[in-house]
Structure formats: structure tokens, C-alpha cells
Amino acid sequence: MAGNKPETKSLSKGKLKPGIMSGNKKIKVAIDPVTRIEGHLKVEVEIKDGVVADARVFGGMFRGFEQILIGRDPRDATQITQRICGVCPTAHATASALALDDAFKLKLTPNGRIARNLILGANFLQSHILHFYHLAALDYVNGPDVAPFIPRYAKNDIRVSKAINDAAVEQYLEALEIRKICHEMVALLGGKMPHVQGIMVGGTTEIPTREALNAFAERFKVVKKFIMEKYIPIVYLLAGPYGDLLKTGGGYKNLVSWGVFPMDDAGNTLLKRGVFTDGKDGKVNVDLIKEYVKYSYFDDATTGLNPKQGQTIPNPDKKNAYSFIKAPRYNGKPHEGGPLARMWITNPELSKTGQDKLGVKRMRDIGDAAFSILGRHVARAEETAIVADAVELWLSQAQPGKETFVSSPIPDAAEGLGLTEAPRGALLHYIDIKDQKIANYQITSATIWNANPMDDMGQRGPMEQALIGVPVPDPENPVNVGRLIRSYDP
Amino acid sequence: MKNNKKLPNEAQMKTGVSRRNFLKSLTGTAAGIGISQMFNPAFVSALTEELKKHPVIWIQGQACTGCSVSLLNTIDPSIADVLLKVISLEFLPTVMASEGKMAMENLYHIADKYQGKFSLAVEGAIPTAANGKYCTIGEYDHKELTMVDIMKDLGPKAGSVLAVGTCAAYGGIPSAQGNVTGAMGVMEFFKKYSIQTPVVNIPGCPPHPDWIVGSISHLLTKGIPELDSDGRPVIFFGENIHENCPRLEQFDNDNLSEKMSSPQGCRMDLGCKGPDTHADCFQRKWNNGMNWCVDNSVCIGCVEPGFPDLTSPFYEPA
């Protein structure tokens, strides 16, 4: 796509299509399952006057990691919790290792911090590229006419020309190679991928050699070129024909980011820690997180708890419940996590492509359009460039042969908190160690912030709220519902 | 293969070094079976039409999607070839275009049309407690189907089942001690419900992409490969990691790593489960030959039926 010119420069040409089929009577539409995501999700929307009037998002799977962890060697948590998500295991490994570093009272070596950043950073690149091309793109372009790219909606609202569609399919295939190369980068320092061996309490287990760093750098060059020349341009290209999708799907506009990628030993992060509530910035206070379960399949007695006191007691037959996802709230309010949250809170300069296309300099200059279906894709693509730049910096800082690991005995009793970011949002691990074993382990994972159900106060989850007002002109082909869901990368 | 970390050029990425390694390792252990032929492009192309008659349906229970992501890491054949040529992948929630009703109708349409001929790939464990409610798959014919329902429906219709990953093969982490969901692997489930369809286990957390693609290709072209007593293809899981470990000599010389980050030494004292683990990681390595667990830290025995309870604690000394 490098040589292609965007079809249109303006982002505001598209208009919301009026409702044509649903009229003013209510129609219920369910998408079950929602595909091209990680995990099991169902969505049900009520359509009135051609737009979504009400929405419910159902989390349909429970494994019970928190119970399974109890009684185990605390160090094993880093291996076990990675298996929560095969797309972002490095993020769970990082959160778990941070919680254990905290409990073991360990300070990493500088090389250990940098090696962890390189492992997590390489997988951020992998995850964002995988998400855009292999999970989301089929909402905007048609794949080849073979399974698994068919069947597809009869009227799937694809608005790009054949030339652009062909180029996008070519990029889809190229991106399969590129994301695989990102995994090679992860494996060079992390052992293998998915599920790395290399991230552990105390740092990373393999001291990088010059050869491994060179191999990493050689691969990174290919990946960065793809990000800058293909991924970012095509996201802005889609904003032409799909410009109306910059005006819908905003939701609450409340955001959380725990911050990720420590840039120094003091813990200052590349992507900042912060909250944004009702239009105001705030500092993170972990005590203000509460998890509600009125509409979740968990024991009512456990509602409203901070993760440090958290309990996970399933009750799959609970009346009125509709999801295995708890509803976390920050200071009593639903908040969105993910690239949009991090980029808004950090507010960095946009890529040159972004500045040219949008005519603005920084993330927040995008304004309200950032809070939209396509806005989330723009935030994700721009974040990919920011992380790529940082990977380059860490590569220059990594010292071959220098220690990355600090060992320490398991404490008899200790608590630890690990706050980081998965590609798809804010991630918290909490561990309570007693008699050198795990006594309690609580995880508030990324998608839980976005895909959660209604809370005890009657507030919808962020995705549910963002669905309200999304145009669904043709209930037989509810394309925009899937587009909205996938914009969060659940 | 740390001496082979040069990034292959584009041509090699498609057809080069990795194919040679892959074929070498296959033919090395499977001489006479001739399964290497299936990776010859001309052969693959000739098979394409034939394979359409044997589509693969890939369903996900209590999974993390890590097995699907590992499949995407296949080098030779490339994932593009796997998706477009080698396998007729009619249903895989992570990548397929369709969703909702259309996806579920297609699932049952394919299962009925190719009854007894399609291969059912299962990723993730099957939670049997609470009437299966711990994992729902989708709505079909006005009914919310659980993973249990789908397995009962499609299990008997399939020509064969591939239990992809340790969760599907043996229950894995969802079935570990402390679980409340009654999670189990495919063979145990089939025994419980008297389903006779043959099962090939491809364990690993996740399995190596070669193990997945190689097993599927073998199944579709030559039938069920030779299996060990744990239901795993001998060509991939026939050898012990410790006995074949490049660090075995260091073990023999009492050169044992004392620290997790020591570049040298046998990992025995750090908790390595290589002596109890059977897989060809020691020669196949991971992610295009970049690395493997023992060079990076320790083996945690992720391909074994006892993972994770019997292979943990993962680290020593306690």
C-alpha cells in the first residue's frame, strides 16, 4: 500500500446513515458468538430508529485461575497467569512479576528492566498488528473468497475500491509474516512465544548476548518499516470512506491507565499512569477500584470489593446475572482501558502521517473524534509507533552480557501489587503470600474494564454504553455492532 | 539454533532454510512414512481440491487462544498457505469473517455435509460442571449451546478429533487442582459420553506450530499417525528432552546452573522438567529456531498429562 494515495483527505465527509429498516419499533439483535476476538463474547442490542437503544455484553467463559493459584509456589503464578491470554501473555507475565517483585521486595537491575521492556514491547507490536489486520480489518475490507473468509454478511458495508481492497488483503498476508517476526523478537529474549519463560520475579532469566540483540534489531527494522509505511497509513486511509465511524461509539469517555514500560529505576513510564473522569485528569489511587457482581455470575456477598480484598466465588445459576465478567469501577464509575486511554492520558505527539492527515499535533488535539470506533484504531496505530520508537531506545540501552536477574528466597508472608498495561488495557495482579504459598491471588484483567456488564448502581459497562447510538440501519447485517466491539480489541 | 539467527530473505522465508530443517527433523524420526512429501508445494497444490472434502472445524472451549496464535506462527508451510491452500478451515472463531447466527449455521452445515469426513480441532478444556454453563459457544436453532453441547453434537459426527494443546488433550490449567468448573480434556470427555471418534492429542502449552500443522496434514493425507500411550504422535513426542538435551554433556560433567540467568550448565537444580518430558523441542526449537525454554530458563513439562500439577513447582530450590 506504500505507493497508494489516500482516497480522500477529509475525515469528516462521511455521514451517519439514517435508519431505514427498523423504523421506530424496537428490534432485538444478538451476535452470538462475536468472533475475531480473544475469548468468548456475545452481544445483544435493541435497535430503535436505526440506532442501538440498549445493549448487553455477555462474557461466556470462566476458568477459575484465582482458585487454581491458591496454595501454589508464588513464583509459578508468572507461568500460570500467562495462560489467561495467548495474545498478551507477556502482559500477564509482567503484571505477575511486578506483583512478586513487590512482595519479594526486589529491585531489578537496569538490564533486567530493559529486557522486560523489550519482551513486552515486541509483543505490543505483535498484538496491535494482529488486532488491526487479522481481527478487525475484515470489518472494513473483504478477504479472499475461501473459508475462513467466507461466509460473510451479504451486505457488509465494505466501502473501499477494489484496488484498495486488494492492497489491504496483500497487507493482511504480509502482516501475518510481520507479527510472526515480532514473536521471534519476543522469543530471542523470552524463550518462546506464546507464553514466555523469560519473565520471572527478579527480572528476566536470560542475559542478552550481542548476537541475540543484533538478531532482535535486525527483525525490529523490518517490523518498524511495516508499521510506519503500511499500518499507520492504512488506518488513516480507512478514515476516508468510513469517516462516519469517527462520530459514533464514544461511550463514557472515562479512562484508566496504570502506565507501562518503566523508563528509569524510579518507575516513570513511557505511557503514563493516570485517570480521566468526567473531563478531568486525576492521579491513580488503587484503593478506589471496586469490583461489582450484581449482574455477574458470582456470589452477591462478594460485590463492591477492592481487588486486595477480592474474592472470586462463582454462582453460575444466579438469577439476573448475565456475564462471567465482574464489573470493575474506578471511584464508582465505569472507565475504559486500552490504547485510547493510554494515548489520551499520555497525550504524545502524533506520527508525521497522523499530523498531516488530521492537521493536529497531539493526541488530545483530535478532540471528541478520538472517542469513536475509528478513533480507537487511530489511537492503537499511533501507540504502535510510540512503542516502536521506545523499542529502538531500549535496544540502544541494553547491555550484552550484563545481569538481568536478581534471585531472592520466597518470603514467609508478604503482599504484592503489580500494575501494568496489556495491549488491550489496564492490568492488575495482586498476590498475598502466607507460609511461602499463594494465599490469595486476584486479577483485574484488561478486557474486564471494557467488556463488563451492568454494575450494582445500574450503570452499563463501557462497551455497552459505547454501543448506544451506534447506527444499525440493517438489522440483518449489524456490521457496526461488531466494529464497535472489536475497536476495543477484546 | 542460535548460530542461525540471521533473518532469512523473502524467498527463504517462503521456501528455504526452515523447510529443510523441518523436513530433516520429520524424516529423521519418521523414515518410511513419507509424510515429508506433503510439504512439497506441487504435492500440496494437487491435494488442495482433495482437502476441501475434508474440512477442519476448529472450536475453542476453556482456552486462551494461545494454540491458535501458535498456529499462526507456522513457518513452512506459511500460515497464508495453511489458510488458503493446505487446510480448508471452515470454522475458527479467531480468524473467520463470519459471526453470530451465520457462523453457527455454517458450523452445523459443514458438520452435516461432511459427516464422518471433517476433522474437529478442539482448543481448550471442556467444563462439565453446572451443565456446561462455564463455557458457551454460541446460539444455534434458538438455543444457547455450551462447549459440552457442541462436543456431544460434533464429536460423533467428526471423522477424527485433534485435541490441540494440553487443555484439550489432558485438561491442562483449567482442570488443575482448585478448579470448580469440572474441566477435562477430549479423551476423558469422550469416555464419559461413550463417543468413539478417534482422537489425536497434540499437547503443549501451546503446541509448536509444526506439531499442529504436521499432525493435521498427516491426518488428512495419510490417516492417523502412530501414537504413544498418551495419545500423542510419536514423530513429535517420541523422545525425552533431557536425554537429547544439548546440555546433557554439561549434566554428565556435573556442570549444573546455580542461577536462573547462568548462560551455561544443566538446569536440573533449577527445577527443569526435561527428564520427565517428551517432545522434540530440543531440536525443533521455537519461533523459527530462535530459542527454547531450556536455553532461556527451564522446561516446565507443558506437554505432559500432569501439567501443571505434577510438573510444579516449576522452579527449584524452594
Please tell me which of the candidates A67, A198, A205 has its beta carbon nearest to residue B178: A67
Identified catalytic residue from B67, B135, B208, B218: B67
Residues from chain A that touch B88, judged by Cβ atoms under 8 A, are 146-147
Q: How many CA atoms lie within 13 A of B35 on its CB side?
A: 29
DSSP H/E element including A241: none
CB B225 within 8 A of CB B216: no
Q: Count Cβ–Cβ pairs < 8 Å, chain A vs chain B.
A: 281
Q: What is the pLDDT of residues B237-252, one digit of tens each?
A: 999 999 999 999 999 9
Q: Is the pLDDT of residue B30 over 50?
A: no
CB–CB contact A207 B261 (8 Å)? yes
**Grid coordinates given for A85:** 491470554
pLDDT of residue A14: 42
Residues from chain A that touch B318, judged by Cβ atoms under 8 A, are 73, 410, 436
Q: How many CA atoms lie within 13 A of A412 on its CB side?
A: 0
At residue B94, φ and ψ (nearest 5 deg) are: -70, -30
pLDDT band at A183 (very low <50, low <70, confident <90, very high): very high
Is B135 annotated in the active site?
no
Q: Is the pLDDT of residue A413 over 90?
A: yes
Is B299 annotated in the active site?
yes
Is B281 annotated in the active site?
yes
CB–CB contact A191 B292 (8 Å)? yes
A185/A114 Cα distance (integer angstroms): 14
DSSP H/E element including A43: strand A41-48
pLDDT of residue B49: 58
CB A384 within 8 A of CB A128: yes
Looking at the DSSP bridge assignments, the partners of residue A298 are A314
B56-60 and B89-91 beta bridge pairing: parallel
Is the confidence metric ipTM above 0.90 for this complex?
Answer: yes
Sign of the alpha-carbon torsion through B107, B112, B115, B117: negative
pLDDT of residue B45: 54
Lowest mean pLDDT among A350-364, A434-448, A470-484, B4-18: B4-18
For residue A222, how many other CB atoms are within 10 A of its CB? 13
Count of residues in chain B? 318
Q: Is the pLDDT of residue A70 over 80?
A: yes
CB–CB contact B139 A73 (8 Å)? no
- DSSP track, A416-470: EEEEEEETTEEEEEEEEEETTEEEEEEEE-HHHHHS----TTSPPPHHHHHHTT-
Whether the bond into B313 is cis, omega within 30 of 0: yes
Residue of A nearest to B127 (CA): A63
Count of residues in chain A? 490
Indicate the pTM of the whole model. 0.93
Residue type, A413: A
Please tell me which of the candidates B67, B177, B293 has its beta carbon nearest to residue A68: B177
Q: What is the pLDDT of residues B55-106, one digit of tens each?
A: 999 999 999 999 999 999 999 888 988 888 778 899 999 999 999 999 999 9
B119-123 and B56-60 beta bridge pairing: parallel
B126/A63 Cα distance (integer angstroms): 10
Q: Where are the beta strands (DSSP E) in chain B?
A: 56-60, 89-91, 119-123, 126-127, 136-140, 143-146, 160-164, 183-184, 199-202
User: Which distant-in-sequence residues (6+ apart) come within 8 Å of A192 by Cβ?
Assistant: B286, B287, B290, B291, B292, B293, B296
Please tell me which of the candidates A32, A176, A215 has its beta carbon nearest to residue B79: A176
Residues from chain B that touch A91, judged by Cβ atoms under 8 A, are none
Q: What is the mean pLDDT of chain B?
A: 87
CB–CB contact A70 B55 (8 Å)? no
Whether the bond into B77 is cis, omega within 30 of 0: yes
Residue of B nearest to A185 (CA): B290
How far from A248 is each of A19, A252, A448, B62, CA to CA, in Å? 14, 12, 22, 33
